[in-house]
Amino acid sequence: MKSLWSDREAAEYKGDLGLRVYTSQLLGRDPSLVLHGGGNTSVKICEQNLVGEEEEILYVKGSGWDLETIAEAGFAPVRMAHLLKLAKLQVLSDSQMVNELKTQMTKASAPAPSVETILHASLPYKFVDHTHADAVISVTNTANGWERIQEIYGDDVVIIPYVMPGFDLARVCAEKFAAEKSDRTIGMVLMNHGIFSFGATAHESYERMIALVDRAEVYLQEHHAWEISPPASLIRDSETRLEIAKLRSEVSQVAKFPVVLSSHADEKSLAFAQRKDVNIISQQGCATPDHVIRTKRLPLVGRDVKAYAESYCTYFAEESAKSTQSVTILDTAPRVILDRLLGLVTVGKSAKDAAIVADIYEHTMEIIQRSQLLGGYQALPASDIFAVEYWELEQAKLKKSGSAPAFTGEIALVTGAASGIGKACVDSLLKRGAAVVGLDINPEIEKLYDRPDFVGITCDVSDESAIANALDQAVKSFGGLDILILNAGIFPSGCRIENLDTATWQKVMHINLDANLILMRECYPLLKLAPNGGRVVAIGSKNVPAPGPAAAAYSASKAALTQLMRVAALEWSSDRIRINTLHPNAVFDTGIWTEDVLTSRAQHYGLTVEEYKTNNLLKVEVTSRHVAELAAEMCGALFACTTAAQVPIDGGNDRVI
């Protein structure tokens, strides 16, 4: 474990709170210390209030902030005097605690204080750092973890037995730390939870954290429990996209809402999934309580989703019977799936959630295997995990959460997605919560967005093998397909039929028609498995109902595509797949409307370019966004009873009307 402290960087941060931000970010840069909102930091600062009184304020990481990106605004300022009074109470419910913390904040706009706020307040140090260091957890999560922690740290840390996060943990820590700390104490280890360090300065507290974690890493190395050797051989039989989509369909059925599946068949994931003892070591529980909400109690080994759900119901019934509070069962679907052929598969209500689960479980796999090498992995018992999973604060959070975006958990594929209507469709679908795969012949599609719910794939849709590879990648990324937007197409320069060469005709037909046939054929098995039914929207053209001269190839290709959609609507309705076509006109912010094409068409009608752009009954310019928003709406609930429709979006065209 190496320190990332830089005097040059630190000089850019002013004051105690500024340096608290800096060292928090340093901790957040290392995923072996904290992941996705995990960990916590604080600083105690004396400030003068509005009436001129000096108050000691605890600035503690606020809810919803990650250490890696935290700013001063991410810390919640809470009055120390009241926190120290709360720490002396014998009983305080977590809901009461949350209320007390909120009422003692000095800034109403600050985020909610961490549930560990009282714990930070009770520790007699200016700066306090808390991480879930993988190396430390690898040691604590063994049968004799307590003794090993003592062996590593001696009197340098106070060891706290596992207590669920919240007020009870704060009270136990305050009492035990006060009784056992010595002049040598620089930290505290919470069994099965994490490690604390303290200091008079941000630099001191940070460096102590690095040094403490380094000692755990060195211990693992010395006991041959650091390096994880992969098996001599791995099974690498690739699974078809249909098998992955079937798995997603089954998980969605059990969850009762669409989910995103993210497949990870890298060497580490396959090696863990193919371990002979994976059925045992993966079923011991989460590495830390902080991971329970994201990953659920246990992963599914294999693909029997229904058996997993039945097992979860049994676990819930047994543990809820022991609980003193009334709890409602959460969905029974797994969040982690370990499969010999697929490797690690993670499940989320969104692509972001699935990505977070993947990050967490990749570290969990390392922790489990290192603990095994150290004598055997041993996590928390089921009752402790249940208490975290059905924590009253988490239950309250679920009740307060608003409705999710319309397409949350659904996956869309858009062709011609790098610009124009295609890019606008990507934006409209992302806005509605979908995970989106964009295909385009332009390699810039791969850089269009850097976010977990978008994958851009360079793909020539006229190449059948390229389409197959793109669909494989799409399904491995997100698990299946719910929505297909057929947008890619070309519009050649104006040419009368007597001058239309065969090569141009065939090229237009191949891209505007044949490629869409191939896409529909290959996507059909995936759309058939869509939890809410598959949806296809084809971007047609005004030229279908009202063709113009000098556009024979384009008009014929779009007319044929429209007819293909009509037949597909007839054939696929029994599979709950609805298919509709949009007929835009004069959408000039698209790739097919080059300056030459635009000028040529305007001249043909005897209009200026500007007149041509608004040459419709409403005298409006139709944009890509207008088309995209309608395309997205046609995939939503508003059009749930509509299929085989042809909807114009052209400002009103007298020739069509």
Tens digits of residue pLDDT in 325-358:
788 888 899 999 999 999 999 999 999 999 999 9
Give the closest residue to 493 by CA, choosing from 561, 584, 592: 592
Q: Domain 411-587+624-649 falls in which CATH fold?
A: Rossmann fold (3.40.50)
The amino acid that residue 656 corresponds to is V
Instruction: Name which of 445, 402, 441, 404 is nearest 425 in CA terms.
Output: 445
How is residue 509 annotated by DSSP?
H
| Total Cβ atoms within 10 A of residue 111 | 17
Helix axes 145-153, 202-222, angle to 10 degrees: 120
From residue 468, how far is each of 247, 259, 537 by CA, in Å? 19, 23, 20
Predicted confidence (pLDDT) at residue 237 exceeds the cutoff of 90: no
pLDDT tens for residues 105-128?
999 999 999 999 999 999 999 999
Inform me whether the pLDDT recorded for 586 exceeds 90.
no
C-alpha span between 349 and 75 (Å, rounded): 28
Its CATH class, for the domain covering 242-400, is: alpha beta
Res. 259: pLDDT tops 70: yes
Q: Place 172 in a pLDDT band, splitting at 50, 70 and 90.
A: very high
CA distances from 147 to 73, 151, 284, 393 (A): 40, 6, 20, 33
| Phi, then psi, of 653 in degrees rounded to 5 | -120, 120
The strand pairing partners of 377, in sequence order, are 142
* pLDDT at residue 136 tops 70: yes
Cα 61 from chain centroid (whole Å): 22
| Alpha helix positions (H), 411-463 | 420-431
Least trusted range by pLDDT, from 57-61, 246-250, 393-397, 645-649: 393-397
Tell me what pLDDT residue 71 has: 97
Alpha helices (H) in 573-622, listed in sequence order: 595-604, 609-613
Report whether 467 contacts 460 (CB < 8 A): no
Residue 397 has pLDDT above 80, yes or no: no
User: Looking at domain 7-222, which of 3.40.225.10, 1.10.357.10, 3.40.50.970, 3.10.180.10 is its CATH number?
Assistant: 3.40.225.10
C-alpha to C-alpha distance for 652 and 565, rounded to whole angstroms: 23
Q: Which helix (H) or strand (E) holds 134?
A: helix 134-140
**Does the pLDDT of residue 137 top 90, yes or no?**
yes
Q: Is the per-residue pLDDT at 386 higher than 80?
A: yes
Instruction: Check if 7-222 and 242-400 are the same fold.
Output: yes
pLDDT of residue 623: 94
Please report which confidence band the pLDDT of residue 478 belongs to, taking 50, 70 and 90 as the band edges: very high
Q: What is the pTM of this model?
A: 0.93
Provide the residue ranges of all domains of the chain, joining segments of one domain with +. 7-222, 242-400, 411-587+624-649
Q: Assign 3-class secondary structure to 253-317.
A: HHHCCCCEEEEECCHHHHHHHCCCCHHHHCCCCCCCHHHHHHHCCCCEECCCHHHHHHHHHHHHH
Residue 520: predicted pLDDT: 98
Identity of the highest mean pLDDT range in 280-284, 489-493, 630-634: 630-634
DSSP string, 159-226: EE----TTHHHHHHHHHHHHHH--TT--EEEETTTEEEEEESSHHHHHHHHHHHHHHHHHHHHHTT-S
Strands (E), 367-421: 411-415
How confident is the model at residue 401, as a pLDDT?
Answer: 66
Which of 289-303, 527-541, 629-643 has the least mean pLDDT?
Answer: 289-303
Question: For residue 129, how far is the Cα from the chain centroid?
Answer: 26
Confidence (pLDDT) at 592: 67
Residue 344: φ, ψ to 5°: -100, 125
- pLDDT tens digit sequence for 15-60: 999 999 999 999 999 999 998 878 999 999 999 999 999 999 999 9
pLDDT above 90: residue 305: yes
Phi, psi of 517 (to 5 degrees): -60, -45
What's the rounded Cα separation, in Å, for the pair 22 and 127?
12
Q: Which of 149, 303, 143 is nearest to 215 (CA)?
A: 149
